[in-house]
Structure 1
């Protein structure tokens, strides 16, 4: 992608130039770009690597939206590439389980850019930290099914999210789960192009990424799904490593030591020579989730296959018998409602990242 020229984005065009010009010509979908002054900021609800997010009111329609300010403070050459990618993708994506980009608005300066997104009352990270009673297994199944439906749509459209984690999963008061934060998302195709392996927050990062693979497929999203499912079932993060070395060690402790038999090409991965993996011959998932059904264990094992080519796809998972056995997934509109923890955060608290957001 050439960020020094013009980026074709379907219904809008952006320029990312040395002098930070941003233009949106008239078009059938958005017309001229509106000013951010048409929105009343109500409170700050989050901050990530790529921008600050506010809860805001559209003064024209009175609708409550999420207003994401694109972070420009470290940019010298215009709009960040991550934001260009996010806008490019979200303009084309329409699915109930993917956050909706409604429009792009600008501030008083040309380099001031905001994304107007559909508003969700909760993010799963905040819920997990604040709810008194953990999600039931029926509720966990409801959440994961919606995540899988959103991913099936993304992967069908040749998009890898590359940063799935509980803080990037939003939920409305009606129980609808939406995948958010597409700053690291990429299109993929054949032949596959090399991509940087330093993506996906550490706790959710697949072993092939930790070992330096530059070939990335939808399998890395599916590993993250396994981590999220396990976290919701166990009521705590499954693999909370503090470094890449420890992260690999935690994976080996849980799943056993990988080898060429179960993972062809394992010994040729770029960083394999930098690690001395412990010898651990056993898969300990059953010991970790002693109460889980056979179908549940089977699903987790398919998501945690070392060999990316054998890891379950979103489509495979949606057909899993785990979702057809009791307790059956509850319907989204029967999910409980919770206090709006994101709206209660003080500004000082919102500025500090939780552990879940750290790489």
Structure 2
């Protein structure tokens, strides 16, 4: 019926009618979006900064080609240091490379061209200021080039931290992966900060995994996060004790170890081994036994949680004895948990290890008891037996 009516009408009038209907639909969608935005953020749309799209300049030479041409000129004396104009490292500088990968923090911004809102993580500007004193900073994101440039504009509006060191998926050499082959820096002098470990299959030893920032409820849903978003809790991360402040301490410690003794020759130093050294101090002295955490038929030693605990310096075991300090469990009714309670050992859920891994610090055991696990409704499924 509609098509027939349009067919018998004036074409110009039909065109105008269609445009008006489209406008009405867009306005309706916009109003719905702003309503949702206000509910999520607690702010009116007029209170949220509107940011335009920053288009990248075209380059005659691709990033990959540029990096290859620079690397081909490096000699054996190349050392970790600040990236300078000749595109070589200065051995006299106390800086090396840090990749900032999809880390945001601080204020709310409305990105109209992308129909989305983003929230900068608390402490991000202080973090960038302090990190830039020690590192040459890059942004590396799996977003496209316009997105990566826009995020850089939000994080670094004056262009004082990143410059043109912005890498997007368009610059990558491997599809759906991130790699250091497009970064001007020796791998042994590069640290990566990212919230997705699997994005770096070839460079996990360079990686500091930071906890994902779930300010919006939609973010929790997208990543299957089991707790309420910060916006719904009407809360936010602590600036002095949040994820970025914690990671900054790790960066300072690793940087200090890298340039320890102030020697000129840094060719034998490797930030990857130093990062492992720092991590192994976190749960040093702890001996952990797991109860009903791993599937029955699996090898406990191959489970990611076992490996994480060992990487944090803990000793892991399959059986209890007097040297055990912690039992990690999901159920108070297991034999190992009953033994731990009887022997006055710590009983915690796996979140204790996860938190230590993300926060790079041993956490208070009382915050990770099994009673907290039940309150949060995070009892984990397992096909193990009660042992």
Instruction: Indicate whether the TM-score tops 0.5.
Output: no
Which protein is bigger by CA-based radius of gyration? 2
Which of the pair has the greater relative contact order for Cα pairs under 8 Å at 6+ separation? 1
- Bin the TM-score by the shorter chain: under 0.3
User: Higher helix share goes to which structure?
Assistant: 2
- TM normalised by structure 1 equals 0.27
